[in-house]
Chain A
């Protein structure tokens, strides 16, 4: 079965420090991987994706993610965290069985950045 795991319910970081939000996946075939962010009472905002190519993917708001095939991981990173980065982050993989395009999401990780 295809799945995504986000092992941390919450990540706490001091402003200015680097942050990492972890994600591991299990899919058959080549994975299409995504990161989304959700602010309170809002929909999901797309941050970045990995389809193919370079393992280091750069996205919006200074975020980047590293695809590691051997470890089946796609961790989200940012060199210097901002208080405004505090939000709920979701890792997702596209369900690549057949022609459908729906996403399978992890449970989400709450990021808290303190001043």
Chain B
């Protein structure tokens, strides 16, 4: 099976712009979670989707949003980018909530 894929791998944006990141989970996995990784804050949970429904959301401002499609692919959007949004954004999928999550390689977002 192919692993979790994320596109693009690298992204450079300027403050005030918006960005959309994409994640394709492992085939058959219906749960997709997003995490932000920064040197200062570590790995922080953004949101979790299951069968096109947001099941849980982390403590991030409303500028961060996401969605999941019927084929389980997911996108996350960040509007009005700030310098502090520079991070590695990781997507993970799992077959159920009790199983391990498998992570993609991440999208490195740099905000200038």
* Residues of chain B contacted by A32 (CB below 8 angstroms): 98
A95 at interface, CB cutoff 8 A:
yes
**Closest B residue to A106 using CB positions:** B42
* Residues of chain B contacted by A107 (CB below 8 angstroms): 42
- How many Å lie between the Cα of A32 and that of B97 in the bound state? 10
* Residues of chain B contacted by A99 (CB below 8 angstroms): 55, 97
What 0/1 readout, one digit per residue, does chain B (80-109) give for beta carbons within 8 Å of chain A? Answer: 000000000010101011101111111010
Of B97, B102, B105, the residue contacting A100 (CB under 8 A) is: B97
Whether the pair B56, A42 counts as a contact (CB closer than 8 A) is no
Given the contacts A90-B43, A99-B97, A108-B42, A36 and B103 also touching, CB distance less than 8 Å: yes
**Which residues of A37-75 are within 8 A (CB) of B?**
41-46, 49, 51
- How many Å lie between the Cα of A46 and that of B98 in the bound state? 14
Whether the pair B98, A51 counts as a contact (CB closer than 8 A) is yes
Whether the pair A43, B42 counts as a contact (CB closer than 8 A) is no
- How many Å lie between the Cα of A98 and that of B94 in the bound state? 17
Whether the pair A94, B97 counts as a contact (CB closer than 8 A) is yes
Of B58, B90, B94, the residue contacting A101 (CB under 8 A) is: B94
Given the contacts A36-B103, A43-B106, A95-B56, A103 and B45 also touching, CB distance less than 8 Å: yes
> With A51-B98, A94-B98, A105-B35 given, can you name 13 additional A-B contacts, CB distance below 8 Å?
A32-B98, A34-B101, A41-B108, A42-B106, A43-B4, A43-B90, A44-B92, A49-B100, A99-B97, A100-B55, A101-B101, A103-B43, A103-B92
* Residue ranges of A at the interface with B (Cβ–Cβ < 8 Å): 32, 34, 36, 41-46, 49, 51, 90, 94-95, 98-108
* Residue ranges of B at the interface with A (Cβ–Cβ < 8 Å): 4, 31, 33, 35, 42-43, 45, 48, 50, 55-56, 58, 90, 92, 94, 96-98, 100-106, 108
